[in-house]
Structure 1
Amino acid sequence: MSSRWVLPVRYRGTPLLVFASVLFAVMALCTRLLAGRLSPGQVASGRFAIGLLFLALFFPLMRRRPRFGRVHLWALRGIFGGAAVYLYFVALDRMSVGPAVLLNACWPIYAAIIGWLFLGERVTGALLAGLVLTTVGAGLVMWSTVAQDVSLTLGLGAWAGMASAVLGGAAVVVIRALRHETDAATVFLSFCLFGLLFSLPFALADWRPLGWDVVLPLLGVGVSSVVAQMAFTYALGYVTAVAGGVATQSTPVFSWVLAAVLLDEAVSPLAVTGALVCMVGVLWGTGVLERLRTPQSKPAP
């Protein structure tokens, strides 16, 4: 094939980031479709099992072996990430899709704070301001769920969504610590293996009968998450961290739209306000807004 038909490298990242964000939203939608039919532990276990099946084919086909690095850090990545996903699925089981995804998408700001605490990464005024905005926005989203229904169920779902963001941020910090010791597929292996070990006891404790009506949504959860994760990881090799941060915050938007259109879920004005505040807080705290506002200097000819 002639080289003129090859897409330039600089165009490969952004379309894939958008594609991955849509798939992460589809995963959330499929998870919500399983609410009441399967427990969050069952859904999380299914997602991780499908990921392990993918990796069982991936490593032999690519003729590669896992590269673990420091095993205790590699294991921590999976434990934190697995716990984050389980809590995220608890939130999706008890809340509407948009608010649950939004609360989970606050993980970049918590990753920045945890990175400062444990990796000595620099803390800026923008980071602290972003943390305040994100906390206020998340509080508005949580309050909107209580305003709709004062039941304890919604309260637990909102707190689970917040906790999933904190643990997700911790998992990302561990990945940073391992960045020179392992590869993306091995990190994904830790995520799936320890995630399955974490969620399986919850699945067995609240096991619900499996029927053919849950097969398609469960496959949707697993397949969309695997493809989205691989596409997102690949795209980050072609774009800046700024673009990655923007894409992370686009997932709640896609999720809210899909839920409103396909599930007819109501959109609370208070929740939307909180979502906007959260997104601004994350983008501000992680430096995305500043980098977008400041023109990048061009190299001298």
Structure 2
Amino acid sequence: MADDLRRGAVFAVAAAAAMAVGATCVKGASATVPSTMIVFFRALFGLMLMLPWLIRGGRQAWRTQCIDGHIWRSAFGIVSMYGYFHALSHLPLAEAVLLTYTMPLFAPFIGWLWLGERPPNSALPAALIGLAGIALIVKPGTTELTSSAALIGALSGVSAAAAMIGIRRISNTEPASRIVFYFLLMSTVITATPLHWTWQTPTAPAWLWLLGVGAFATGGQLLLTRAYGSAPAAFIGPFTYTAVIFAGALGWALWGETPDLWSLAGIALVIGSCLLTLLPGRSRRRVDAPTEV
């Protein structure tokens, strides 16, 4: 199938908008629901959406020979989700979203250590620029809660990068749908454990926020899959950062969030550095669509 750049761009921007709305729902739910519950319901609702695929595919759909690879991938993904949702609970929406989107800065170095894949020449300068941007967003010396939440958000980006490398490690034998299934299954089981100590019965508005988390996050992932199926990854990548713009607009409209000049400068540096990491991939026409973090 020939590349359709316009179609890919439309799907990518739509995916970014859906993910920004999903992040907004996380922030809305966090006002009355602990992050442990939000992570659990995000995984549970996603798993429920996978059931038709599981029933239709039968045993062959979920049968795997590399369960250890799924465990490593899921572990990093779960840590990333906890960090991301914690950041969303305590930071302006745009900043929290951006910190998890720093994944391209760390992935080349994790791939080097884990898979022996030498990073491109642009990886180190991009990472240094990105770290400078993160420092401007974290703003050491501000309130301890804000700084710690920003650091946790940045660590969620590192964990997300490790999860993506974990996907790459098993993607030769495992289709994307099976990787997503095992991630959601393990996430649901593991994140159910803390509920024994942290459960709070959600109010009716909180249930709506939680349903929104599952619906928009899953919808965004499906749209992003369509985007990467329509155009090269290097073309799609820049459009995914419109999620930061959507998140900033939603944060301003719902909570009156306005980033200061330091944060704006940091956002610009991080986005620019992440785009720099995509330059070596322009010769590659297609990649597997990303799965759940």
TM-score (norm 2): 0.89
Q: Which residue matches 2:115?
A: 119
Identity among equivalent positions (%) equals: 24
1:156 deviates by 2.4
Task: State the SS of the aligned residue for 2:241.
Answer: helix
Q: Please name the residue that 1:108 is paired with.
A: 104
The one of 139, 147, 153 equivalent to 2:145 is: 153
RMSD: 2.3
- Deviation of 1:155 (Å): 2.4
Which whole-Å CA distance do the structure 2 matches of 1:197 and 1:249 have between them?
A: 31
Equivalent position of 1:15 in the other structure: 10
- Segments of structure 2 that go 5 or more residues without pairing to the other structure are 286-293
Q: Secondary structure at the match of 1:286?
A: helix
Residue 226 of structure 2 aligns with which residue? 234
User: Which structure has the greater CA radius of gyration?
Assistant: 1
Partner Cα distance (1:247, 1:208) in 2: 38
Structure 1 residue 286, shift from structure 2 partner: 3.4
What residue number does 1:281 align with?
273
SS in structure 1 of the partner of residue 200 of structure 2 = coil
In 2, are the aligned partners of 1:22 and 1:251 still within 8 Å (CA)? yes
Q: CA deviation at 1:8?
A: 7.6
Q: In the TM superposition, what is the alpha-carbon distance from 1:62 to its structure 2 partner?
A: 5.9
Change (3 A) 1:81 1:244: farther
Residue 133 of structure 1, aligned match among 129, 134, 150 = 129
Answer yes or no: is 1:250 the counterpart of 2:242: yes
Contact 1:127 1:286 in 2 (8 A): no
Distance in 1 separating the partners of 2:148 and 2:194: 16
Match of 1:207 in 2: 199
1:30–1:221 CA contact under 8 A, matched in 2: yes
AA of the residue aligned to 2:177: A
Q: CA deviation at 1:244?
A: 3.3
Query: What is the match of residue 198 of structure 1?
Result: 190
| Gap change, CA 1:276 and 1:203, over 3 Å in 2 | farther
Does 33-42 or 189-198 show the bigger shift? Answer: 189-198
Q: 1:126-154: per-residue Cα shift (whole Å, max 9, x none)? A: 1100000111101110118x54xx1x322
Task: Check conservation: 1:105, 1:248, Cα contact below 8 A.
Answer: no
The 1-side partners of 2:187 and 2:243 are apart by: 22
In structure 1, give the amino acid aligned to 2:163: A
- Find the partner of 2:260 among 268, 276, 291: 268
Q: Distance in 1 between matches of 2:99 and 2:191?
A: 20
Q: Give the conservation status (yes or no) of the 8 Å contact 1:41–1:86.
A: yes
Partners of 1:276 and 1:203 in 2: CA distance:
38
Could you tell me which residue of structure 1 aligns to residue 289 of structure 2?
none
Q: How far apart are residue 61 of structure 1 and its match?
A: 4.3
1:97 aligns with 2:93: yes
2:164 is aligned with 1:172? yes
Distance 1:154 1:185 in 2: 37
**Partner of 1:122: helix, strand, or coil?**
coil
On the 8 A contact 2:50/2:181 being kept in 1, the answer is yes
Distance 1:25 1:59 in 2: 28
Structure 2 match to 1:88: 84
**Contact 2:15 / 2:240 at 8 angstroms: preserved in 1?**
no
The aligned amino acid for 1:44 is V
1:69-84 to structure 2, matched below 5 A, reads: 69-84=65-80
Residues 95-147 of structure 1, C-alpha deviations (whole Å, 9 max, x = no match): 12111111111011111110111112222331100000111101110118x54
Runs of 4+ residues deviating >4 angstroms? 61-64
Report the residue type matching 2:237 in the other structure: G
Asked whether the equivalents of residues 43 and 184 of structure 2 are also in contact (C-alpha less than 8 Å), the reply is: yes
Paired residue type of 1:30: C
The amino acid that maps onto 1:28 is A
Contact 2:3 2:232 in 1 (8 A): no
